[in-house]
Amino acid sequence: MRNGTLALCVAFAAIALTGCKDEASPARQPASKSALTVTAVAPELLSWPQKLAASGNVVAWQEAVISPEINNYRITEVLANVGDVVQRGDVLARIASDAVDSELAESRASVAEAAATLAEARAMNERAAQLREKGFYSAQAGIQTQTAADTALARLNAAKARMASAELRRSKSIVVAPDDGIISARSATVGSLTQSGQELFRLIRRGRLEWRAEVTAAELNRLQPGYPARLETPTGTVVRGGIRTVSPTVDPQTRNGLVYVDLQPDAGTVLSAGMFTRGEFILDQQPALTLPQSAVLLNEGFAYVFRIEPLGDGLAKVSRVKVGTGRRAGDRIEVTGLDANAQVVGNGAGFLADGDTVRVVPAQPEAKAPT
């Protein structure tokens, strides 16, 4: 009896499991994959400027070294410091002039003495001439008085030359700015003795800065004076300039040449001499086949787009096409190796695979930037 009951329970359990399997089978059947909705875009041919990237140092256009012009005199006052904006003729430092003042006073006294001697010699010469006419003086005596007057004149001229030299030395006791500009360095200190060739100050003439960009020998010939340049500072500020001249020589070690770029007058507010910065030169306009950057997929160092092949009823098949990339401007990128009449996926390319079926909808017009 117990064996019969057990067999009956096993039979009912088998029937129940079979029923459950039949009911669950439809739920496990795979559902059909829905097509991803994408927008189609076409390449656009635009006229873009060619750009040449470069890097280099920002330096002073011209830097004047200001040195003392008299030796072994003590500096008594320093009136300028690094960063000061000065005008031509502004006093930068003063040098002790006691000894020079003494020399100047002595030379002025010598001039006065020589002038008095000349006046006396000329008076004697005139009197001798009058007496010679009356027969009281010989011709020899007249020559002597004339020679004395000429000698006195020569001594006066020599005294005046010494006085001018002393006045010039006196003027050199004041160190002045030779031009408008910005003080970039100062080594003058109160109490130190001046020496010939000693550097007291450095002056960036007129505050002008330039960018000395290094480019390869092959790229050097592409650049000409007048081409615009664009620099970006570490803070993101854009500084503009133009090529002044291109170096006629190339460094034999680096195989690079220098391009000298005049920067805009206010470049000194965001750049400093000695900074290393990157920039680019704007060359001639050239046509570029462009796409939105969202249409280009980067994968393993290569660029791809998904070309759309219509199937009908709003559906299309996509095929992955490898392209080359070039210049960028805003949200657009230059592509090569693509038919200008091709239709490609505008966005969502990262979710597609080669051969996928998609639903294509019209692309929304691009919003224009406010003016």
Tell me the pLDDT band of 300, cut-offs 50, 70 and 90.
Answer: confident
How many Cα atoms are found within 13 Å in the side-chain-facing hemisphere of 176?
10
pLDDT (0 to 100) of residue 22: 44
C-alpha to C-alpha distance for 197 and 215, rounded to whole angstroms: 36
| Secondary structure class of 186 (helix, strand, coil) | strand
Residue 352 Cα distances to 203, 297, 321, angstroms:
62, 10, 12
For range 84-96, the mean pLDDT? 92
Are the beta carbons of 193 and 138 closer than 8 angstroms?
Answer: no
Q: Tokens 């001697």 sit at which residue? A: 117
Tell me the pLDDT band of 280, cut-offs 50, 70 and 90.
Answer: very high
pLDDT (0 to 100) of residue 135: 63
Using DSSP bridges, classify how beta strands 36-41 and 357-361 pair: parallel, antiparallel or unpaired.
Answer: parallel
Q: Is the model's pLDDT at 367 over the cut of 50?
A: no
Q: Is the model's pLDDT at 101 over the cut of 80?
A: no
C-alpha to C-alpha distance for 109 and 163, rounded to whole angstroms: 9
pLDDT (0 to 100) of residue 364: 63
Q: Is the model's pLDDT at 58 over the cut of 90?
A: yes
* 144 vs 256, residue with greater confidence: 256
| Secondary structure class of 141 (helix, strand, coil) | helix
Q: Which amino acid is at 230?
A: R
For range 166-172, the mean pLDDT? 81
Strand partners, 243: 261
Summarize pLDDT for 348-366 with one digit per residue, the tens: 888 888 888 998 887 665 5
Summarize pLDDT for 217-268 with one digit per residue, the tens: 888 988 999 999 999 888 888 999 999 999 999 999 989 999 999 999 888 8
Q: What is the total residue count of the chain?
A: 371
C-alpha to C-alpha distance for 160 and 101, rounded to whole angstroms: 16
C-alpha to C-alpha distance for 186 and 181, rounded to whole angstroms: 14
Strand partners, 91: 176
For range 336-344, the mean pLDDT? 89
pLDDT (0 to 100) of residue 139: 64
pLDDT (0 to 100) of residue 33: 52
pLDDT (0 to 100) of residue 365: 57
C-alpha to C-alpha distance for 111 and 309, rounded to whole angstroms: 105
* 312 vs 136, residue with greater confidence: 312
pLDDT (0 to 100) of residue 366: 55
Domains and CATH numbers, the chain: 36-47+287-361 (2.40.420.20), 52-62+208-285 (2.40.30.170), 63-95+182-207 (2.40.50), 97-172 (1.10.287)
pLDDT (0 to 100) of residue 3: 44
